[in-house]
């Protein structure tokens, strides 16, 4: 007999290398299943043009971020480019407890931190069909210098080498197929 107080859905943590199509897959998933709640990170950086607080990020001061760290208010956090980013624990746990399907999009380090701090979490690695396809996708963006692309590819190799740390690996060869597999894995079928 199942526990009536148990959440309907396990929180899902999605990761994958830069260029694999995480944003595209998440956007397609949310169009198809708008009930999926996507966690919004907190950051200490200032908003870029067009970004809105509470939509793109929760913009906080360094002191507010320090308080979140000190009070165990983040599932994971990291520093990038002199700014800090993290996943607010209370909001994620509240949505999961309310029976809402929760999705977090994190990097590998974030997955490693959050999976141990989020009860019942399941993890998914979104992988490219091949290393060459990932290289092609990154090159197609046209936003990477050769040095930046080499760095991203080296990070991608480390992320893909950690595939056995994930509950599921989904190959993003076609967006709709990858979304279908993610929907199934999250238990959203019906």
Q: The domain that contains 136 carries what CATH number?
A: 3.40.50.300
Q: For residue range 20-68, what is the model confidence (pLDDT) as tens digits?
A: 999 999 999 999 999 999 999 999 999 999 999 999 999 999 999 999 9
Q: For residue range 103-115, what is the model confidence (pLDDT) as tens digits?
A: 999 999 999 999 9
Number of domains present in the structure of the chain:
1
Strand partners, 52: none
Report if residue 99 sits inside a domain.
Answer: yes
Which residue, among 85, 169, 60, has the nearest Cα to 123 in the 3D structure? 169
pTM over 0.85? The answer is yes
Length of the chain counted residue by residue: 190
Q: Report d(CA 118, CA 112) in Å as an integer.
A: 11
Report if residue 7 sits inside a domain.
Answer: no
Check residue 148 and give its pLDDT. Answer: 87
Report if residue 1 sits inside a domain.
Answer: no
Report if residue 134 sits inside a domain.
Answer: yes
Report if residue 82 sits inside a domain.
Answer: yes
Q: Report d(CA 185, CA 33) in Å as an integer.
A: 13
Answer whether residue 145 shows pLDDT above 90.
no
Q: Are 119 and 126 in contact, with CB atoms under 8 Å apart?
A: no
């Amino acid at each position: 007999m199942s526990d009536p107080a148990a959440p309907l859905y396990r929180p899902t943590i999605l990761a994958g290398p830069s260029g694999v199509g995480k944003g595209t897959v998440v956007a397609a998933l949310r169009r198809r299943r708008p009930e999926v709640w996507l966690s919004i990170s907190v950051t200490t950086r200032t908003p870029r043009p067009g970004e809105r607080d509470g939509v793109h990020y929760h913009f906080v001061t360094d002191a507010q971020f320090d308080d979140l760290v000190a009070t165990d208010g983040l599932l994971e956090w990291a520093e990038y480019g002199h700014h800090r980013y993290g996943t607010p624990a209370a909001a994620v746990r509240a949505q999961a407890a309310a029976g809402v399907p929760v999705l977090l999009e994190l990097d590998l380090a974030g997955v490693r931190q959050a999976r141990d701090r989020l009860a019942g979490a399941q993890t998914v690695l979104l992988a490219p069909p091949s290393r060459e396809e990932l290289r092609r996708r990154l090159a197609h963006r046209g936003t990477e210098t050769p040095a930046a692309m080499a760095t991203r590819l080296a990070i991608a190799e480390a992320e893909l080498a950690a595939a056995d740390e994930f509950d599921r690996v989904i190959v993003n060869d076609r967006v709709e197929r990858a979304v279908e597999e993610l929907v199934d894995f999250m238990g959203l079928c019906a």
